[in-house]
Amino acid sequence: MQGGKLIIFSAPSGSGKTTIVKHLLQQPELNLAFSISATSRPRRGKEKHGEHYYFMSLSEFKNHIKQDDFLEWEEVYRDNFYGTLKTEVDRLWAEGKNVIFDIDVAGGLRIKKKFPEQTLAVFVKPPSIDELKIRLKKRSTESEDKINMRIAKASVELATAPQFDSIIKNYDLETALKEAHKLVADFVGAKVADGQ
């Protein structure tokens, strides 16, 4: 496994990392491709296999762990596994792309440890835990219990922020998007027009 650059965006759920990653993917000069994670959790809403996640059964996922098929994996919640398949990164590198990840904190740090020179690890910080709770409730995709689990996890994740290469404070989305763009452009050596 070797190839282009790896760009990791990690954050507590609801911090805005997915919005930032989607924005960066639309910037052609960055030459990014999205690494689709594998998960054992059920699909939500209109999620599609191979587009949002590679959905697998719990036994399939555990089999991939045994085969050492993952670059990183974690049991985020009980029986809810997430991971990055080595074949996914190889596929994107073979296309000559820089790979961008929207993954949880532990997974992001594991990839950074495996590829320290090739990886830019960015932590997206929410304005506050209270703001995070408001954002998660607005989504209306999860129960109060699940939201409380995510909030409890967020406090732990926020403590890992100093281990990342950069921290973006997402208090104002426009500012956060510009900051993310500059960080990634500098890292991949992209030529950016003034005012970007």
Domain boundaries, the chain: 6-188
Do the annotations mark residue 17 as ligand-binding?
Answer: yes
Residue 193 has pLDDT above 70, yes or no: no
Return the exposure string of 121-160: e unless at least 16 CB atoms fall within 10 Å of the residue's CB, then b: bbbbbbeeeeebbebbeeeeeeeeeebebbbebbeebbee
pLDDT at 175 exceeding the cut of 50: yes
Q: Is the pLDDT of residue 23 over 90?
A: yes
pLDDT of 149: 83
Mean pLDDT for the stretch of residues 1-15: 85
Are 118 and 97 in contact, with CB atoms under 8 Å apart?
A: no
The answer on whether 108 is annotated among ligand-binding residues is no
pLDDT for residue 64: 98
**25-55 residue pLDDT tens:** 999 999 999 999 999 999 988 999 999 899 9
Is 16 annotated in a binding site? The answer is yes
Nearest one of 73, 35, 41 to 58, comparing CA atoms: 41
For 101-131, the pLDDT digits (tens) are: 999 899 999 999 999 999 999 999 988 888 8
Asked if residues 103 and 37 have their Cβ atoms less than 8 Å apart, the reply is yes
Reduce the DSSP state of residue 180 to 3 states and report it. Answer: helix
Q: Is 12 annotated as a binding residue?
A: yes
DSSP line for 112-132: HHHSTTTEEEEEEEPS-HHHH
What global pTM score does this model have?
Answer: 0.87
| 8 Å CB contact between 56 and 40 | yes
Q: Does domain 6-188 have CATH number 3.40.50.300?
A: yes
| Mean pLDDT of the chain, nearest integer | 91
- The yes-or-no verdict on residue 19 having pLDDT over 60 is yes
Residue 13 is predicted with a pLDDT of 81
pLDDT at 196 over 50: no
Residue 26 CB-density burial (10 A; 0-12 exposed, 13-18 middle, 19+ buried): exposed
